[in-house]
Amino acid sequence: MKKKFYNKAVGLVGMLAITALFVACDEHRDYPDTSMKPCHILCTDGKVLSVSDFEHSGKQAIAVVFHVNHDEKTEGNGYAVYLWDLEPLAFADSIGVKQNTSADIAALDGFENTFALLNTSDASSPLAEKAFDLWRYGQSSYIPSVAQMRLLYHAKEKINPIIKMCGGDTLSIEADDCWHWTSTEVAGQQTAKAWLFSMSSGAIHDTPKTQAHQVRPIITINN
């Protein structure tokens, strides 16, 4: 008799434990997922919001998240692309000066490259000056590197509808409007050429620095 009672008690305790586990899991699902994701919107006050939260916020958008970093060695939590293209400008005002970018087409170093362009005393960069003029609302915009443009290229189909919703310029794939300056000089030809990137095909093209082309700045998100 005692054995039967003991078995029933053990079974009841087991059922209660399983029930408690399911209740705990159900409670866990009630918490909202607030992590940053591609297609989230960066606002002028530095807040990053989902599309639905943005629509009810009354805030002003400035950029759209296109990449979230998962590598601890990469600076920042992710990248957001500015809503608008900048007017066509030259990479440099003259040929013959190495402007000390990394010239590494695999490096996510657009910020460092843009600063190098600004910090070169023997040549100025109308492109970099214009990008840094956008520094406001606490957002530091810069010219993306080749590698960062590749990330943007692969995200364009997802983020273009969000850019359009926010009143920005969608990333064009038209032949006469798809090429953008990167901040990466061409290795071995740093005094004369830098890389253009095609948002249509993902191709890069070595181009004389004095040519005027558009640029789409990006912003590193650190919050």
pLDDT tens string 34-50? 589 999 999 998 899 99
Under a CB-based contact definition with an 8 Å cutoff, are residues 143 and 114 in contact? yes
The CA distance from 101 to 99, in Å, is 6
Helices (H) and strands (E) in the chain, counts: 5, 11
What would the pLDDT profile of 160-210 be if each residue is shown by its tens digit? 999 999 999 999 999 989 999 999 999 999 999 999 999 999 999 999 999
Structure tokens at 78: 């992710």
**Structure confidence at residue 109 (pLDDT):** 96
Average pLDDT, the chain: 86
Under a CB-based contact definition with an 8 Å cutoff, are residues 139 and 155 in contact? no
Under a CB-based contact definition with an 8 Å cutoff, are residues 16 and 44 in contact? no
More confident residue, 73 or 54: 54
What would the pLDDT profile of 116-157 be if each residue is shown by its tens digit? 999 999 999 999 999 888 866 556 899 999 999 999 999 999
* Among 75-79, 92-96, 178-182, the least confident range: 75-79
**pTM for this prediction:** 0.83
pLDDT, average across residues 5-24: 43
Cite the beta strand spans of 69-171 per DSSP E: 78-82, 86-90, 141-142
Under a CB-based contact definition with an 8 Å cutoff, are residues 76 and 205 in contact? no
